[in-house]
Structure 1
């Protein structure tokens, strides 16, 4: 497994806009349509990365816990499917169903969205406030495949709870780590 850290996009950055196909229902989804009233969690993931496979249960639970509170989740896969066919859109749909995703799973065929977000790895997490300003980028929590730490989503949950409670988000943010995005 590669250990690629996330790039730390500057806090306060406006969320780059996009309109991508949702592989779950084959509709196009824009950021404006999918954003949450109180905040938006954007995650760059893929089907085959062991780091994503490890966090999948928490990704599904995050959406279940926070969508009703006005924080929406949006997942994006930007991997090159010619060289990594396991990440193809039809398999993304299957992956989303198997992992009980309650959020859109979008396909970034051109990889332009990943580049706009300066995404580097899977999983890579970005939390934006209600004005779509970046307040957090980094890891889900300290758990990694094989390190035997409990998967809790603590870092993201603390951030989302701070947003909801109108409290400052911690400036101490650790980069995520995972497989590199498979660039064309």
Structure 2
């Protein structure tokens, strides 16, 4: 036994302290790994449960869930649009304008439409208080993450959906800068949401 008060004693205490500190750090690291694994597995279980529900409910279940994007084609007003990629439909949570139609230019750029019938015509969406930034709400984005095409000032006078601000209900009527309304819309929109990577997609 090393006598107390000697250099050897204090060195032994110091070495023991370092050893115990390393053990604590090691256990904390293992604990974090376990927690991360637990969160990962929990997310996987939630994803699989959702897929199970989708299998049982199919398209109808997806269209009832505002967080589900149904990959499918739809009929749309092509009056002022530059996006012709993959197409999706989702629940908008609004009425009128029950369903959002999304056509990709790229995973981060798209054109949005609204319709009350998934088998009917999907119409353009205009903004009476801006240029369409608040429409990002429809796919999980916000006005602060929005980038709008600069050509909204040339939007033609047609029929479509419109509103003036975030969370406001939509109306159907005249839209387009070149028409009789003050409701503008552009040919594309970016919302900081990458589709399909950032969303849940159900494929028929």
Same fold (TM > 0.5): no
Task: With a CA cutoff of 8 Å and minimum separation of 6, indicate the structure with the bigger relative contact order.
Answer: 1
- Scaled by the length of structure 2, the TM-score of the pair is 0.22
Structure with the bigger percentage of helix:
2
